Amino acid sequence: MHPLVRGAEAFRLWRQLDERPDHLRGLEAAVLGAKIGGGRSLPFLPLAAAGFAALTATGSAERRLAGWLSGAHKAVLAGLMELDRLRRWQGRAMEAVADLSGRTARLLLDCLARHPMVSAPQAESETGASRATVERNLTLLAKRGIAREVTGAGRFRVWTAAD
């Protein structure tokens, strides 16, 4: 069977297990189906990236498989569109930090391109820079419109690539 079909079947079978609470069964089934459905090409299918059509758990086998395939198709397209957005963002971001002499800003751009959201401790770990340097550079990137702080908090802030 194709990995997409195996993923759909794993999703269906896992949901039928009686040993887990219903909310966990559905979540575990979705994760298992996404991991198996990606095959060798993808580490997982981003099934929820474009809605939950892939996670149709009712109807005939044909309806469930059609929903799974349609949802997987939409999710992969959404993922590709997000990658295009990040590529465009990365080009603009590199231009915006071209005048900076340090390496931390560029390392933070790489970090923001790899992760949808980044905390200062995570950025500190990935860049090797001190917490103060990371926070100072993230604030600078925000002022230049490259990064955006999403929590609105003074502590435990999380950052993302700005559109």
Q: What is the pLDDT of residues 81-118, one digit of tens each?
A: 988 999 999 999 999 999 998 899 999 999 999 998 99
29 and 74 in a single domain? The answer is: yes
Domain assignment of residue 88, yes or no: no
Range of the domain at 58: 3-81
The amino acid sitting at 49 is A
Do residues 116 and 151 both lie within one domain? yes
**pLDDT, tens digit, 9 for 90 and up, residues 12-62:** 888 888 777 777 777 888 888 888 888 887 788 888 777 777 777 678 888
Instruction: Specify the pLDDT at position 57.
Output: 67
Helix (H) or strand (E) holding 118: strand 118-119
In a domain, 17, yes or no: yes
Angle at 75 between CA 69 and CA 81, to 5 degrees: 140
Determine the average pLDDT of the residues in 55-78. Answer: 85
Please indicate, yes or no, if residue 91 is contained in any of the structural domains.
Answer: no
**Helix spans in 16-130 (H):** 22-37, 61-96, 104-114, 120-127
Looking at 29, 53, 81, the residue that finishes a domain is 81
Q: pLDDT (tens digit, 9 = 90+) per residue, 124-158?
A: 999 999 999 999 999 999 999 999 999 887 778 89
Does residue 101 share a domain with residue 66?
Answer: no
- List the CATH number of the domain containing 139: 1.10.10.10
pTM across the whole model? 0.73
Asked which of 81, 108, 137 is the last residue of a domain, the reply is 81
Same domain assignment for residues 75 and 106 = no
For residue 118, the model assigns a pLDDT of 95
Both 17 and 71 in one domain: the answer is: yes
Residue 90 lies in a domain: no
Instruction: Confirm whether 11 is domain-assigned.
Output: yes
Give the model's pLDDT for residue 87. Answer: 93
The number of domains in the chain is 2
List of residues 6+ apart from 8 with CB closer than 8 A: 33, 37, 64, 65, 68, 69
Are 113 and 60 in the same domain? no
